[in-house]
Amino acid sequence: MAGKIPAQFIDELLDRVDIVDLINGRIQLKKAGRDYQACCPFHDEKTPSFTVSREKQFYHCFGCGAHGTAIGFLMEYDNMGFVDAIEELASQQGLEVPREGGQHSSGPDLRPLFKTLEQSASFYAQQLRNHTQAHKAVEYLKARGLSGEIAAEFGIGYAPPGWDNLIKQLGTDKEGLQHLRVTGMISEPEGKCYDRFRDRIMFPIRDRRGRTIAFGGRILGDDKPKYLNSPETPVFHKGRELYGLFEAHQALRKIQQLLVVEGYMDVVALAQFGIRFAVATLGTATTGEHMQQLFKVTHKVIFCFDGDRAGAEAGWKALKTALPHMRDGREAKFLFLPDGEDPDTLIRKEGTEAFSRRIENATPLSSFMFDHLSKEVDISEPGGRARLAELAKPLMSSLPKGIFRDILQQQLNEMVGLDTMHIMTDAHQAPAPKRPVTPPKREKPIPLVRRAITLLVQHPQLALIQNLPEKWRELDSTGTNLLGKLLELVQNHPNLKSAQLVERWHGTEEYRHLSKLSATELFIPEQGLEGEFRDTLMAIEQQIRTDELNKLVEKAKNEKLEDQEKNRLNQLLMENSGQK
């Protein structure tokens, strides 16, 4: 069982991540004073009420109440678990997630498998430089216009001819052979054991952290298959991974767009010509998990296909896969190349500038969808227009509710010539769940303890003020106990910021309340914060004295007080009247 993720690591992670950049990569934010705004991605609205604070590193929706840190946003928006969200943020920052007790992952220890795959990648890269048969691979790569620098950046290697070259290198003992077996690097038909990849140019497939998780191999002779991928393994699932995504991250600080192509050589050739934002699916059609991966790092995706019939069919499948992921602020386009061309051949033929213009002029998703549907009907006839609406029905229903869906509906209305609101409803698809939007309420004064906690959560440095009032601690309540813990935590870790402070309570009942308080507007000027916090603590103490006084007075009305109670009553009365 893996240990917990240390709180100090979560603190460091949140200190590195900018929540504005993170959220802006998924929905388009606009500057609004010190903060940023957008229409909330968690409920339907026309006027922006979703606010992101760079200063506090929090987001909050004043409409539906959604709120949290960068970790919370990934959990909510990308439907991740807590640990997955931390691992996602850590991978973006190039960090390994530690565990208490020295463990680094949950579940089985996969590190030996990653090590075997890295060693395999190193072996293949060495063979490309040194093997006597590698000249065939080198000549092929040179003929495709690749430089040594690009080949090295993508870790391209060579699996030499022979049945057991890799086995001799890494499978010399039982444990090594088992690791090769589990990672799919060897095959065992009829009980015989031999290298899976032989006489192939090798393309390491890396995950978002840059770890080698699988390989693709291109044959140099006439054998089949032309391309061979690693099988599914505990560390590789081809329906999730995208070749070249790690390299694109390394080359581009912020990925503005991603071009999805079909092959390894397409990605590498485009990189050679300066187009560093290409990725490839791994011998499979685009999946929903691919779409999630793509939109995690950019808001704009361009699908690139050959211009033949197979390319058109693949493009249509990609469109249907993309539709459920087209939240507001996301963009998808489709680029179809001339018949007989692929990105590798075309960019070498016409150059970077011409190919970049093709990308820039790619067909928007809406145009591709309606053009494709219109080819199946005669929209000059009423029956054809009705048929168009019927064909569009399941596609429109799969779109998330929002402005983008409304725009497509309006476009369809114009094509059909009727009010087609009804096509947005699909009897076989339940409406997407929405957050209940709380109706606006009249503002009420914030209770004193809650006000003190709110001030401290939003401005942790207040805990470092010298000679703060202490008698409020005599009130034994849930609120004062939490306030005391918050003060103690910040005093022991004086560099904690708001987001880090709140995340220390993740997984507890207090977390929800602290997250909400972190977004509560108090409208206190910076220079008045210290006095406000001190006055609030003093007001809590006064409230404690007043409550105790009222109880003693009420008791004195009905029964005789003990001497100790009389003395305490007199003391409280003097304090209340300002006497010493």
31 and 124 co-located in one domain:
no
The pLDDT of residue 577: 61
Query: Would the pLDDT of 444 be above 70?
Result: no
Cβ burial 297-315 (10 Å sphere, 16+ → b, else e): bbbbbbbbbbbeeebbebb
pLDDT of residue 506: 86
Check residue 364 and report its DSSP letter.
E
As a whole number, mean pLDDT of residues 242-247 equals 93
Look at residues 178, 296, 159 and name the one whose alpha carbon lies nearest to residue 233: 178
Residue 399 in contact with residue 323, Cβ under 8 Å? yes
CB contact set of 240 (below 8 Å; sequence gap of 6+): 287, 289, 290, 293
Give yes or no for residue 432 having a pLDDT over 60: no
Q: Rounded to 5 degrees, what are φ and ψ at 103?
A: -85, 155
Q: Collect all residues with Cβ–Cβ distance below 8 Å to 55 and sequence separation of at least 6.
A: 34, 35
pLDDT at 178 over 90: yes
Q: Is residue 342, in this structure, part of any structural domain at all?
A: yes
Same domain, 476 and 561: yes
User: H or E stretch including 269?
Assistant: helix 264-272
Q: Are residues 197 and 269 in the same domain?
A: no
104 part of a folded domain: no
> Is position 99 within any domain?
no
DSSP string, 116-175: HHHHHHHHHHHHHHH-TTTHHHHHHHHHTT--HHHHHHTT-EEE-SSSSHHHHHH-SSHH
Domain that holds residue 60: 7-92
- Give the SS3 label for residue 519: coil
The pLDDT tens digits for 366-398 are 999 999 999 888 888 888 888 988 999 999 999
CA 339 to chain centre: 36
Least confident of 174-178, 318-322, 547-551: 547-551
My answer on whether 393 and 331 are in the same domain is no
Task: Check if the beta carbon of residue 342 is closer than 8 Å to that of residue 306.
Answer: yes
Q: Dump pLDDT digits (tens) for 329-366.
A: 889 999 999 988 999 999 999 999 999 999 999 999 99
Q: Are 564 and 457 in the same domain?
A: yes
Predicted TM-score of the model (pTM): 0.64
The CATH code of the domain that includes 189 is 3.90.980.10
For residue 204, give the DSSP letter: E
pLDDT in the model for residue 135:
93
Q: Place 197 in a pLDDT band, splitting at 50, 70 and 90.
A: very high
> Among all chains, which residue has been given the structure tokens 């444990």?
175
Q: Where is the domain boundary, 59, 92, 125? A: 92
Contact (CB, 8 A) for 399 and 408: yes
Q: Which of 49, 64, 92 is the last residue of a domain?
A: 92
- How would DSSP label each residue in 197-221? --SEEEEEEE-TTS-EEEEEEEESS
Give me the CATH number covering residue 408: 1.20.50.20
CATH number at residue 88: 3.90.580.10
Taking the C-alpha atoms of residue 437 and residue 458, their distance in angstroms, rounded to an integer, is: 24
pLDDT tens readout for residues 212-223 = 999 999 998 778
In a domain, 32, yes or no: yes
Extract the tokens encoding 31.
């500057």
**Residue 323 contacts by C-beta under 8 Å, 6 or more apart in sequence?**
395, 398, 399
pLDDT in tens, 261-317: 999 999 999 999 999 999 999 878 899 999 988 988 888 999 999 888 888 899 999
Q: Is 482 helix (H, G, I), strand (E, B) or coil?
A: helix
Q: The domain that contains 273 carries what CATH number?
A: 3.40.1360.10
Q: Which of the listed residues 360, 392, 413 is the one where a domain comes to its end?
A: 360
CA–CA separation, 313 vs 316, rounded Å? Answer: 5
Locate tokens 């469109």: which residue? 319
Is residue 178 domain-resident? Answer: yes
* pLDDT value of residue 28: 86
By CB atoms closer than 10 A (0-12, 13-18, 19+), residue 220 is middle
Specify the DSSP element, H or E, that contains 52: strand 50-53
Do residue 82 and residue 118 come from a single domain?
no
CA 252/CA 308 separation, integer angstroms: 32
- Tell whether the model's pLDDT for residue 104 goes beyond 50: no
Most confident of 455-464, 469-478, 513-522, 541-550: 455-464
Q: Which residue has the tokens 């002779």?
A: 221
Residue 47 has pLDDT above 60, yes or no: yes
One domain for residues 126 and 196 = yes
Query: Which pLDDT band, with edges at 50, 70 and 90, does 576 fall under?
Result: low
| Least confidently predicted of 356-370, 400-414, 415-429, 470-484 | 415-429
Rounded mean pLDDT of the chain? 86
> Which pLDDT value is given to residue 523?
79
What mean pLDDT comes out for the span 177-185?
96
Name the band, by pLDDT with cuts 50, 70 and 90, for residue 558.
confident
Percent of all residues in the chain with a pLDDT value above 90, rounded to a whole number: 47
Virtual CA dihedral for 21, 27, 29, 35, nearest 10 degrees? -60
Task: Name the pLDDT band for 165 (thresholds 50, 70, 90).
Answer: very high
Residue 434 predicted with pLDDT over 70: no
Nearest to 56 by CA among 515, 506, 485: 515
Phi, psi at 229, each rounded to 5°: -105, 160
The rounded distance, in Å, linking the Cα atoms of 186 and 159 is: 12
8 Å CB contact between 86 and 68: no
pLDDT, residue 253, reads 65
More confident residue, 496 or 182: 182
- 210 and 161 housed in the same domain: yes
Shared-domain flag, residues 354 and 398: no
Indicate if the pLDDT at residue 13 is higher than 60: yes
Q: Is the pLDDT of residue 429 over 50?
A: no
Residue 371 resides in a domain: no
Domain membership flag for residue 487: yes
One-letter identity of residue 328:
D
pLDDT, mean of residues 233-239: 92
Q: What is the pLDDT of residue 328?
A: 80
Contact 549, 572 (CB under 8 A): yes
Q: At residue 575, does pLDDT exceed 80?
A: no
Number of independent structural domains in the chain: 5
Give tens-digit pLDDT for 481-509.
999 999 999 999 988 888 899 989 888 88
Instruction: Please indicate, yes or no, whether residues 354 and 380 belong to a single structural domain of this protein.
Output: no
| Residue closest to 487 by CA, chosen among 501, 508, 507 | 501
pLDDT of residue 101: 63
Q: Shortest CA distance to 318 belongs to which of 374, 363, 264, 254?
A: 363
pLDDT of residue 485: 93
DSSP state of 561: P
pLDDT at residue 139 tops 50: yes
Q: Does 258 map to a domain?
A: yes
Closest CA to 435 of 20, 65, 118: 65
pLDDT at 105: 45
| 8 A C-beta contact, residue 57 and residue 499 | yes
Place of tokens 């919370």: 72
Task: List, edge to edge, every strand of the sheet that includes 157-159.
Answer: 157-159, 200-206, 212-219, 227-229
Residues in the chain: 580
Q: Is it the case that residue 2 has pLDDT exceeding 60?
A: no
Pick the closest to residue 157 from 215, 103, 209, 84 (CA basis): 215
Residue 571 sits in a domain of what CATH number? 1.10.860.10
Other C-beta atoms closer than 10 Å to the C-beta of 554 total 9
Distance of alpha carbon 544 from its chain centroid, rounded?
46
| Residues 345 and 257 occupy one common structural domain | yes
| Residues 222 and 273 placed together within one structural domain of the fold | no
